[in-house]
Chains A and B, each alone.
Chain A
Amino acid sequence: EAGVTQFPSHSVIEKGQTVTLRCDPISGHDNLYWYRRVMGKEIKFLLHFVKESKQDESGMPNNRFLAERTGGTYSTLKVQPAELEDSGVYFCASSQDRGQRFSGNTIYFGEGSWLTVV
């Protein structure tokens, strides 16, 4: 079974440019999450999709970030325009279960997209 796939694995862009990150969750997983780790900080939640709907986007840093999940399959996270502080690793994760007490072992992480803004 294929795991969570992220593309690109690495990206270097100039300040002011646009970057789009893609995540393909595990097939059949309704829940898709985006997380981010910036240098020296902990991994932080960005947003959560249930199928194609945004369940929560309280972790999105500002309106330069736009996430979509058309059709409830893959998701994209666009940063426009990119700033230096956006550099970091963007992780996508997916899970099948959702409820009052979900299990961490149902959340599978991708290998991350490493973004460097120069």
Chain B
Amino acid sequence: EDQVTQSPEALRLQEGESSSLNCSYTVSGLRGLFWYRQDPGKGPEFLFTLYSAGEEKEKERLKATLTKKESFLHITAPKPEDSATYLCAVQARVSDSGYALNFGKGTSLLVTP
């Protein structure tokens, strides 16, 4: 069964203090690994899709990387507005012709001034 484990569950950083979030996955044939950002009371907002080991994507202060077993979301010099829950998901087959996202529990990030 496909599994996605995120760590840490919660992370508190000071503004400017860089760090990384981890997403470990077990999937029979990776079809895509996705990072979403979720603000309180909102739905998940897409950030990145990674498809193969070695792939990297960047967006502002965020950089996502992928290996065969895990993905990292690196946050460089974070700002308070980066505070949110970051969700990792893998693309999983749910039927002969259908796919859906299999989510981890998320990492709750708090960046203080």
Chain A residues engaging chain B, CB cutoff 8 angstroms: 4, 33, 35, 41-45, 48, 55-56, 58-59, 91, 93, 98, 100-105, 107-112
State A41–B87 Cα separation when bound (angstroms): 12
Q: In the complex, how many angstroms separate the beta carbon of A115 from the nearest chain B beta carbon?
A: 14
Most buried by B among A35, A43, A93, A111: A43
Give every chain A residue within 8 A of B97 (Cβ-Cβ). 55
**Which residues from 60 to 79 on chain B have a C-beta closer than 8 Å to any C-beta of chain A?**
none
Given contacts A107-B46, A110-B43, contact A58 B94 (CB under 8 A): yes
How many interface residues does chain B have, given as a range? 20 to 34
The 10 closest A-B pairs by CB, nearest first: A109-B43, A104-B34, A56-B95, A45-B100, A43-B103, A104-B49, A56-B98, A42-B105, A55-B98, A42-B103
Task: Give the nearest-CB partner of A37 in chain B.
Answer: B103
Q: Is the CB of B94 within 8 A of A104?
A: no
State A98–B103 Cα separation when bound (angstroms): 19
Q: Is the CB of A48 within 8 A of B32?
A: no
Known: A4-B43, A42-B106, A112-B43. 6 other contacts (CB 8 A): A44-B103, A48-B94, A48-B95, A55-B98, A102-B32, A110-B43
Give every chain B residue within 8 A of A48 (Cβ-Cβ). 94-95, 98, 100
Give every chain A residue within 8 A of B95 (Cβ-Cβ). 48, 55-56, 58
Q: In the complex, how many angstroms separate the beta carbon of A93 from the nearest chain B beta carbon?
A: 8
Q: Is the CB of B98 within 8 A of A104?
A: no
State A109–B87 Cα separation when bound (angstroms): 13
Choose one: B4, B32, B102; the contact of A45 (CB below 8 Å): B102
State A28–B34 Cα separation when bound (angstroms): 23
Q: In the complex, how many angstroms separate the beta carbon of A14 from the nearest chain B beta carbon?
A: 24
Task: Give the nearest-CB partner of A58 in chain B.
Answer: B94
Q: Is there a chain A Cβ closer than 8 Å to B21's Cβ?
A: no
Give every chain B residue within 8 A of A98 (Cβ-Cβ). 98-99
